[in-house]
Amino acid sequence: MKAQLDSILEKWNLLKHPFYESWTAGTLPVDALKVYASEYGAFINILDQGWTTLDDPETAEEEREHAVMWEGFASAVGTTIGAPRIAQTKALVESARSLFGQRASALGAMYAFEAQQPQTAKSKLDGLKTHYSLPEAVEPYFEVHSSNWHESEKILKAISALTTDEQAQALAACEKMSESLWNALTGIHEKTCVN
């Protein structure tokens, strides 16, 4: 099951997205970071719903604490989190809400995000420290998540306990969420970096 899930993630590998590649290289404008912090924050703010569906109140509370850290990141780059205005980030939030509605799809959707997050967080943190002269308040969210593998491991264990039909639902949800995450970055990139 892990191999099937990870092959989906490789197809939509966020570290290979031009937006994150530019961030890592330090060529992403600070205005793009602002738009990203604001738009993507709407998704970060609903992650607790997935964990609530999975009947994991402890991790749901942790996600609410992490959402506060994201607000700190947004504030440090000079913006706030609002309702998404870019079509692809709106679609990401809508997909997440839908997929978080039942256990099997919530597991697949959460895996798509959580299994990639440690690597993307580390890459973004390195990019911020190396290339951007921003307040240290931009760093805590990414510091916490750059070594946070326990959530994806917990999800993987739960997926392996699903029925065959439920595992198929989880795989489909992983694919949909992976594509939605990729498309959200594309929308932000097109809005801020492509003339």
Q: Where are the alpha helices (DSSP H) in 15-149?
A: 18-25, 30-44, 47-53, 57-76, 87-99, 103-114, 117-131, 140-145
Q: What's the confidence (pLDDT) of residue 195? A: 62
pLDDT greater than 70 at residue 171:
yes
Residue 148 has pLDDT above 90, yes or no: no
pLDDT tens across 83-132, in order?
999 999 999 999 999 999 999 999 999 999 999 999 999 999 999 999 99
DSSP state of 187: H
Q: Evaluate if residue 190 carries a pLDDT over 90.
A: yes
Using CA atoms of 183, 186, 191, 192 in order, give the dihedral in degrees to the nearest 10: 140
Q: Does the structural domain 2-190 have CATH classification 3.40.50.300? A: no
Find the range with the poorest average confidence among 18-32, 107-121, 144-158, 176-190: 144-158
What residues contact residue 157 under an 8 Å CB cut-off, 6+ apart? none
> How many other β-carbons are positioned within 10 Å of the β-carbon of residue 158?
18
The mean pLDDT of 3-11, rounded to a whole number, is 96
Q: Span 140-148, mean pLDDT?
A: 91
- C-alpha to C-alpha distance for 179 and 7, rounded to whole angstroms: 13
Is the entire prediction scored with pTM above 0.85? yes
Model confidence at 23: pLDDT above 90? yes
CA dist 163 to 55, 71, 160, Å? Answer: 18, 38, 8
Domain residues of the chain, as ranges?
Answer: 2-190
Q: How confident is the model at residue 19 (pLDDT cuts 50, 70, 90)?
A: very high
